[in-house]
Structure 1
Amino acid sequence: MADLCKISFPGSGFEPIILEFNTNLSERLTIQNSPVLFGCRTGICGTCLVEVVGDVLPPQADEQEMLEALAANNPHARLACQVDVIGDVEIRRV
């Protein structure tokens, strides 16, 4: 079970999904299985801005720059299209 990660969406009405370890969220989340919306899927539009609580790697420089502009005071803010799942996480719309 260590190679699987549970992705939860508290307060959204969406059921948790199970993804493989080191899976990119934008490749697996759709309008049918999550409340996360995606635009460009490259980290430049900010459409997929979410709060992520759980075990994730820190943002790369390009994502960090966008986060500083979109959610400077939110330490859990991430662009879902840039997050690789490495553990169980909870995701909430910002």
Structure 2
Amino acid sequence: MSNLCTISFPESDFAPITLECHQNLSEHLTIQNSPVLFGCRTGICGTCLVEVIGEIPAPKLDEQEMLDTLAPNDSNARLACQIDITSDLEIRGLNE
């Protein structure tokens, strides 16, 4: 089983990236080129709200509380800074 995960960004010009599983996504996306905006990087501001397609662990309580506020009816909504990358994922900006 590979310990590498490919993260792709459909509907953007950003090239897919490959990370080791469990690495922090926000640390590997540059401010200039990132298809995802990051603010606090701690899960409390909601700036990095995205739609995730792929298998990842369920959100922790703090993240879930933020998701219940920002995207209460979207089961694919996640905070990109809080994602534990465990498999290949597609990440899209969440339409407001």
How far, CA to CA, are the matches of 1:87 and 1:31 in structure 2?
Answer: 24
4+ long deviations beyond 3 Å: none
SS in 2 for 1:55: coil
Equivalent pairs counted in the alignment come to 94
Q: Distance in 1 between matches of 2:34 and 2:53?
A: 16
Separation in structure 2 between the aligned mates of residue 80 and residue 30 of structure 1, nearest angstrom: 13
Secondary structure of 1:87's counterpart equals coil
Q: Could you say which residue in structure 1 is the equivalent of 2:27?
A: 27
Structure with the largest fraction of strand? 1
| 1:82 corresponding residue in structure 2 | 82
Q: State the distance in 2 between where 1:3 and 1:85 align.
A: 10
Unaligned runs of 5+ in 1: none
TM-score calculated relative to the size of structure 2: 0.92
TM-score of the superposition, structure 1-length normalised?
Answer: 0.94
Report sequence identity in percent.
67
